[in-house]
Amino acid sequence: MTKQDDFISTVSHELRTPLTSIRGFAQTMLSSWDKIDDNSKKKFLEIIEQQSNRLIHLVENILSVTKIPNEDLVLKKTNINTAIFSTVQILKQKYNTHNIVINSDKTNPEIYADSEKLQQIFINLIENGCKYSEPQTTVTVNTKSDNQYVYITVQDEGVGISEEYADKIFEKFSRIDNPLTSKTQGSGLGLYITKTLTEKMNGEISFKSLEKGTVFELKFPQYNIEDHAKCSVTH
Ligand SMILES: Nc1ncnc2c1ncn2[C@@H]1O[C@H](COP(=O)(O)OP(=O)(O)O)[C@@H](O)[C@H]1O
Ligand SMILES: [Mg+2]
């Protein structure tokens, strides 16, 4: 099978699962309308809505996955702390179940990056930290720098990732079996998108398992004046 066939067959499978469920619940309601009580009807409609949302999210992710390899990023001098603060502000509302803490180096390290895509990276990692950990736990974003690099970590107190999945989690559509993966929605594309974007900005991403939880580590070269001379668009 070529990579393209592989991609199509995975996508078809991912689309078929929610569609089958939507059709199934709609058919049941149509054929047995009078026999189903109102409570069950409401439950069925909730499932249909949930699965439709899952489809929309999936299609959006698939579109961005197909675009990303050819997408041009606009690299500019970008303040890492500003990008983190605005991301965390948005996510604090969405995940008010979790404690999201920023622990940043006040020296405001700057890197050469596309600020919108940088925020997408932080959203993916912080969302994962919240999705794969229990409510009332803490997700911490740390930044520090030396005179060459800026280092950002996103650490959670969640279910953790076994080292054997180290390569797998960054592949398209890979979701790891854990008690929270089946409870949360996801397409398994977030980390693939995150890694691709990070590398397009000359960065690196890796993760480590902790005694309790996971820490994702990002490393970007510090902005330096010679970057001005480089082309501001990377492919
Ligand atoms: N912080 C984390 N803690 C535990 N597992 C994680 C974490 N981040 C990602 N994973 C695992 O890696 C898989 C891939 O992540 P991702 O590409 O973001 O996909 P999604 O979140 O849509 O499932 C997840 O399904 C999950 O099993
Ligand atoms: Mg994710």
Q: Give the Å distance between the CA of 127 and the centre of ligand 2.
A: 6
**Are 65 and 172 contacting, i.e. CB atoms less than 8 angstroms apart?**
yes
Q: Work out which ligand 1 atom sits closest to the CA atom of 61.
A: 22
- Whether residue 203 has its Cβ less than 6 Å from ligand 1: no
Q: Give the Å distance between the CA of 169 and the centre of ligand 1.
A: 7
**Are 75 and 234 contacting, i.e. CB atoms less than 8 angstroms apart?**
yes
**Chain position carrying tokens 């009580």:** 37
User: Cα–Cα distance between 223 and 107 in angstroms, integer?
Assistant: 13
- Pick 3-70's CATH classification: 1.10.540.10, 3.40.1440.60, 1.10.287.130, 1.20.120.450: 1.10.287.130
Q: Give the Å distance between the CA of 129 and the centre of ligand 1.
A: 8
- Superfamily designation of domain 74-228: Histidine kinase-like ATPase, C-terminal domain (3.30.565.10)
Q: Where in the chain is the domain with CATH 3.30.565.10?
A: 74-228
In the chain, what percentage of residues exceed pLDDT 70? 93
Condensed to tens digits (0 to 9), the pLDDT of residues 7-26 reads 777 788 888 989 999 999 99
- Whether residue 169 has its Cβ less than 6 Å from ligand 1: yes
Say what the pTM is.
0.83
Condensed to tens digits (0 to 9), the pLDDT of residues 185-217 reads 777 889 999 999 999 999 999 999 999 999 999
